[in-house]
């Protein structure tokens, strides 16, 4: 018991402070160092040493030494060894130091535990870090794989978006899984709305054979692909002609998982094909019609030439009256052959540059005169000029407006719109990129049935008893020859619109010519070349009545031979020539005109005449050496007007 010892309060306070402070020290060693140094200042203590660990001191302690294990339960953390210089004086503190060492053990154990916990924590953190790295690597690899997959998907998506073919995929039940952009456009369905719907609801297809073209993936097992053509109706009811391919989709196990439908809008190609076929068809019919019209014109020229002569020579009123009536039939016959010629290759337009507005307004208004149909015009103020044949374009407008009027039965409204249009390369199937004036004539009648729409430009095709069937085919021909295009757009019960495109011209408009005097009188020699004797006869008579001496020939070389035979003085009297361009088996006017010019000079009036209205020469006679042209059949007045113009 320490009660028997004389203990110093100061020393006890020191021990107490040591006990208090060891908990604040940061390490085992610091605790041992601190306590060893502190205990060394206690009474009876000469020096203090310490050891960390449980191996103990190597040398046996001296009798004056006192060794304290720093121990908790059976675990020894170290030793504190005191060298005493006064054993008796220290004896009273022995138990206190034992207690201090026990407290040191508690602190050290706490350190050890904390260290073990720290090690465990570090190990845990190391494992977490290692696992995190592994996971990060896996994530990177997974991300990389996902990126590659995304790239592939994106490439596929971009490809699908970019191609102009519609692509729809479905599952095995025919429910839509995806639509590309083109498919959205063609069907009128947005992908977000269409996904999940049955294919047949979105992709409304009518094949040429009348089938819908749909099948489920299961049904396609035996026929992996179906290629066909049909009519697709979009969500708004518009129709497209599409080529259609349907194939099954297989997964990596060759299991059928759905369908892919690939379709392409071929409406434009089909329209163009129809148009080209129509042009070719009209061309071949035109050749035939032109041939007939030419011969028919010659016959009419003869027939009515004599008729006119008979009118002029007959003194019997009754006969003159009958002859006058016959003349009115002549006008109708002439108009018919004129239409045939216009429709045929022969009716090349005589182009003059100007504004179309007046021609269109006049023709439309004239066609509707007396009808209970109004016409509204919407015409751009700055309409470009066009090189056009006034009579032919008037004829086109007339034909279309009459058709429109008849489409509206009793009454209605026709809308005529004229606009400047710049066509880029892909705007039109047949027209080159350029500037055009577009004339649109719209009626609000019953529309043209699909079944006949492709045939409306065919010659002699008509749905009316009184129609000739030449109106639209002639219009088509005229516009073709103007280098333009004519198109029709029609919806049942809504009406029809004809669009005419005529190329804009930069040429300056020509001023209107002065009307010639009605009857011409002149003098001199006029050469007449024609293979038909009766036409030579009639022309000769007409010229004679106007004061000229007519010399007739049936072949070109005869003309030249005649001129060579003349003296210069007589040759100087030759003022004009009326030359048929087509001499079967011989040479017509075109072949001899240059030689004529050489002999007779520029003063000589060379007139090209043809019942064939032979395109280039008749349209642009001056380019071929002629002064002017005169289409057959012609009347005396027509010839008189020409001579009045050039020989007055």
Partner 1 sequence: MCSSHTMVNLGFAEAELPAGTHICQIYSDDRERDESLLRFLFAGLHDGERGACFSNDFSADVIEAYCDREGLDIMRLRERQALSVSDVSSVYFKDGVFNPDVMLGLLEAYHDKAKSDGFRAARVVGEMTAEVNDIQGGKRLLEYESRVSLLLRKKPVTAMCQYNAHAFDGAMIMEVLRVHPMMIVSGAVVRNPFFIQPEEYLKRCEYVV
Contact string (CB under 8 A) for partner 1, positions 41-60, x = contact: x-------------------
User: Shortest Cβ distance from residue 69 to partner 1 (Å)?
Assistant: 19
User: Shortest Cβ distance from residue 14 to partner 1 (Å)?
Assistant: 4
Segment near partner 1 (CB under 8 A); pick from 20-28, 424-432, 505-513, 559-567: 20-28
Residues in the chain: 648
CA separation for the pair 192, 194 (Å, rounded):
6
Q: Mutual orientation of helices 390-407 and 471-481 as an angle, nearest 10°?
A: 140
Segment near partner 1 (CB under 8 A); pick from 37-45, 219-227, 300-308, 404-412: 37-45
Q: Which is nearer to partner 1, 93 or 263 (CB)?
A: 93
Q: What angle do CA 63, 68, 70 make, to 5 degrees?
A: 160
- As a three-state string, the secondary structure of 238-294 is CEEEEEEEEEEEECCCCCEEEEEEEEEECHHHHHHHHHHHHHHHHHHHHHHHHHHHH
Phi-psi region of 601 (alpha: psi -120 to 50; beta: other; left: phi over 0): left
> Any residues with CB less than 8 A from the CB of 89 and at least 6 apart, and which?
43, 44
Q: Does 31 bind partner 1 (CB under 8 A)?
A: yes
Structure token pair of residue 190:
């947005």
Q: Which is nearer to partner 1, 20 or 54 (CB)?
A: 20
Of the chain, the end-to-end C-alpha distance in Å amounts to 168
Rg of the Cα atoms in the chain: 56
Backbone angles phi, psi at 219, to 5 degrees: -75, -15
Q: Does 34 bind partner 1 (CB under 8 A)?
A: yes
Q: Does 26 bind partner 1 (CB under 8 A)?
A: yes
CA separation for the pair 42, 122 (Å, rounded):
41
DSSP letters, 217-238, are TGGGTT---EEEEEEEE-TTS-
Q: Does 32 bind partner 1 (CB under 8 A)?
A: yes
Q: Does 81 bind partner 1 (CB under 8 A)?
A: no
Q: Which is nearer to partner 1, 33 or 141 (CB)?
A: 33
Q: Does 218 bind partner 1 (CB under 8 A)?
A: no
Q: Does 121 bind partner 1 (CB under 8 A)?
A: no
Q: Does 33 bind partner 1 (CB under 8 A)?
A: yes
User: Shortest Cβ distance from residue 82 to partner 1 (Å)?
Assistant: 15
Using DSSP bridges, classify how beta strands 176-179 and 166-171 pair: parallel, antiparallel or unpaired: antiparallel
> Which of 497, 485, 400 is closest to 448 using CA atoms?
497
Task: State the number of binding residues for partner 1 (CB under 8 A).
Answer: 20
Q: Does 30 bind partner 1 (CB under 8 A)?
A: yes
User: Shortest Cβ distance from residue 5 to partner 1 (Å)?
Assistant: 18
User: Shortest Cβ distance from residue 59 to partner 1 (Å)?
Assistant: 22
Beta bridge partners of 418: 379, 439
Q: According to CB under 8 A, which one of 14, 275, 405, 536 is a site residue for partner 1?
A: 14
Q: According to CB under 8 A, which one of 21, 95, 122, 276 is a site residue for partner 1?
A: 21
Segment near partner 1 (CB under 8 A); pick from 32-40, 140-148, 269-277, 637-645: 32-40
CA separation for the pair 191, 185 (Å, rounded):
10
Q: Which is nearer to partner 1, 21 or 128 (CB)?
A: 21
Q: Which is nearer to partner 1, 48 or 639 (CB)?
A: 48
Q: Which is nearer to partner 1, 53 or 557 (CB)?
A: 53
Q: Does 80 bind partner 1 (CB under 8 A)?
A: no
Q: Which is nearer to partner 1, 38 or 459 (CB)?
A: 38
Q: According to CB under 8 A, which one of 2, 5, 6, 37 is a site residue for partner 1?
A: 37
Q: Does 25 bind partner 1 (CB under 8 A)?
A: yes
Task: State the number of CA atoms in the 13 A half-sphere of 140 facing the CB.
Answer: 6
Q: How many distinct helices (H) and strands (E) make up the chain?
A: 19, 21
Binding residues for partner 1, per CB under 8 A? 10, 13-14, 17, 20-21, 24-26, 29-38, 41
């Amino acid at each position: 018991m320490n009660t028997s010892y004389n203990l110093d309060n100061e020393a006890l306070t020191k021990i107490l402070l040591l006990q208090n402070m060891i908990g604040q020290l940061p390490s085992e060693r610091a605790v041992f160092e601190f306590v060893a140094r502190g205990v060394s200042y206690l009474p009876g203590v000469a020096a203090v040493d310490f050891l960390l660990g449980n191996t103990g001191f190597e040398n046996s302690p001296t009798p004056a030494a006192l060794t304290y294990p720093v121990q908790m339960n059976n675990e020894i953390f170290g030793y504190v060894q005191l060298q005493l210089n006064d054993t008796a004086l220290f004896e009273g503190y022995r138990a206190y130091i034992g207690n201090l060492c026990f407290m040191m053990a508690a602190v050290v154990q706490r350190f050890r535990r904390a260290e073990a916990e720290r090690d465990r924590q570090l190990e845990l953190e190391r494992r977490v870090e290692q696992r995190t790295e592994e996971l990060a690597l896996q994530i990177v690899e997974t991300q990389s794989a996902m990126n590659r997959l995304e790239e592939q998907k994106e490439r596929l998506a971009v490809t699908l978006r970019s191609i102009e073919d519609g692509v729809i995929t479905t599952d095995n039940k025919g429910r839509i899984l995806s639509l590309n952009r083109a498919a959205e456009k063609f069907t009128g369905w947005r992908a977000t709305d269409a996904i999940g719907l049955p294919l047949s609801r979105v992709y409304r297809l009518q094949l040429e054979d009348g089938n819908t073209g749909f099948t489920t993936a299961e049904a396609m097992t035996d026929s992996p692909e179906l290629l066909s053509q049909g009519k697709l109706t979009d969500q708004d009811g518009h129709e497209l002609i599409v080529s259609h391919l349907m194939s099954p989709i297989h997964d990596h196990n060759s299991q059928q998982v759905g369908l892919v439908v690939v379709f392409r809008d071929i409406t434009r190609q089909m329209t163009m094909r129809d148009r080209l076929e129509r042009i070719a068809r009209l061309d071949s019919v035109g050749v035939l019609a032109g041939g007939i019209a030419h011969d028919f014109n010659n016959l009419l020229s003869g027939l009515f030439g004599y008729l006119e002569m008979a009118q002029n020579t007959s003194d019997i009123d009754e006969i003159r009256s009958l002859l006058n009536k016959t003349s009115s039939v002549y006008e109708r016959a002439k108009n018919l052959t004129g239409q045939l010629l216009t429709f045929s290759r022969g009716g090349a337009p005589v182009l003059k540059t100007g504004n179309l507005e007046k021609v269109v307004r006049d023709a439309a208004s004239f066609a509707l005169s007396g009808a209970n149909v109004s016409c509204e015009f919407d015409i751009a103020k700055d309409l470009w000029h066009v090189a056009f044949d006034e009579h032919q374009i008037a004829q086109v407008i007339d034909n279309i407006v009459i058709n429109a009027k008849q489409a509206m039965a009793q009454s209605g409204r026709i809308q005529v719109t004229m606009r400047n249009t710049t066509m880029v390369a892909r705007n039109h199937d047949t027209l080159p990129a350029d500037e055009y004036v577009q004339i649109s004539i719209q009626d609000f009648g019953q529309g043209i049935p699909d079944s006949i729409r492709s045939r409306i430009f065919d010659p002699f095709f008509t749905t009316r008893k009184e129609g000739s069937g030449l109106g639209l085919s002639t219009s088509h021909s005229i516009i073709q020859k103007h280098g333009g295009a004519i198109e029709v757009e029609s919806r049942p019960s809504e009406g029809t619109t004809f669009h005419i495109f005529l190329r804009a011209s930069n040429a300056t408009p020509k001023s209107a010519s002065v009307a010639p005097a009605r009857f011409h009188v002149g003098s001199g020699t006029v050469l007449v070349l024609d293979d038909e004797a009766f036409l030579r006869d009639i022309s000769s008579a007409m010229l004679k009545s106007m004061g000229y001496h007519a010399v007739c020939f049936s072949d070109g070389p005869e003309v030249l031979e005649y001129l060579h035979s003349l003296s210069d003085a007589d040759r100087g009297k030759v003022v004009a020539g009326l030359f048929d361009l087509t001499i079967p088996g011989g040479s017509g006017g075109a072949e001899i005109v240059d030689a004529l010019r050489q002999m007779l000079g520029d003063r000589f009036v060379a007139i090209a005449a043809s019942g064939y209205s032979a395109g280039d020469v008749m349209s642009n006679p001056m380019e071929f050496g002629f002064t002017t042209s005169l289409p057959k059949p012609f009347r005396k007045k027509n010839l008189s007007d020409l001579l009045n113009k050039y020989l007055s």
